[in-house]
Amino acid sequence: MTAVLRLSGNTDAASPVRLANPVKKGGMPRLAANLAYLFTERPLLARFAAAAAAGFKAVELQVAYDHAPADIRREIERHGLTMLGINTPGASGGQSGVAGVPGREAEFAALFAKALDFAVGSGARTIHCLTGRVPPAEESAGERAFVANLARAADLAAEHGISLLIEPLNRRDRPENLLHLPEQAAAIIEQVARPNVRMQFDFYHVQIEAGDLTHRFERHLRAIGHVQIAAVPSRAEPDEGEVNYPALLEAIDASGYAGWVGCEYKPRARTEDGLGWARAYGIAAPA
């Protein structure tokens, strides 16, 4: 498979480029537990042990800024886990992020500095930079602000070997979210022109916003740094709904994608009771 990235905010643009992305051969998708969603029956610091007991080898967070980074790192090391990524902190005024909001560049810089300190202290490999809400009339200005903010942040992160992720979020769940299409994210990545800026491809969000999942994943493979899954439309375990995840995970594996597949779903009940779908991928709740 040849992964082609067309650098534009729409699907009709030409000028494909190819971005480096290590590939693997054989094996199976490597599942990571998103601890903002899984094992939430426990306090956060107890979720690492639960994830490891279920067979997960990696975890990701969203926000954990009310905990000391050293405490997170301790649990990671204690249970032999790989720490993937965190989100930038929530912003003032109810915004989930402001990386793409014109006029709030100083606020983003402060939030990113906090995220970078936390990532370094906890051992996280990536920081997801949330764009925030931008009215349609201001989208062009928002994208320019996003590119400039990412370029500065990527240079700071690179000093610590950390990558940035940008994620298209569907506008049904996140009205007016600036970044909402993989094609748009690909264009942003090309403009930023930093090797440590990649796309977080969440199949849940892409299916709701755009569909054509396999084609879009293949097309943007070289720009993708992380993958996430959940059922559509429920966002529950990926064993229900309109997406055929067994076939999709097989396609991800066959593509040579070398990263992790983040389980960012909302369990229907107790987390362990819903892990049957993941048994084929090396995950099983302890008896």
Active site residues: 167, 264
CB 129 within 8 A of CB 97: yes
Cα 250 to Cα 156: distance, rounded to the nearest angstrom: 36
Cα 154 to Cα 231: distance, rounded to the nearest angstrom: 32
Question: Mind spelling out the 3-state secondary structure of the chain?
Answer: CCCCEECCCCCCCCCEECCCCCECCCCCCEEEEECCCCCCCCCHHHHHHHHHHCCCCEEECCCCCCCCHHHHHHHHHHCCCEECEEECCCCHHHCCCCCCCCCCHHHHHHHHHHHHHHHHHHCCCEEECCCCECCHHHHHHHHHHHHHHHHHHHHHHHCCCCEEEECCCCCCCCCCECCCCHHHHHHHHHHHCCCCEEEEEEHHHHHHHCCCHHHHHHHCHHHEEEEEECCCCCCCCCCCCCCCHHHHHHHHHHHCECCEEEECCCCCCCHHHHHHHHHHHCCCCCC
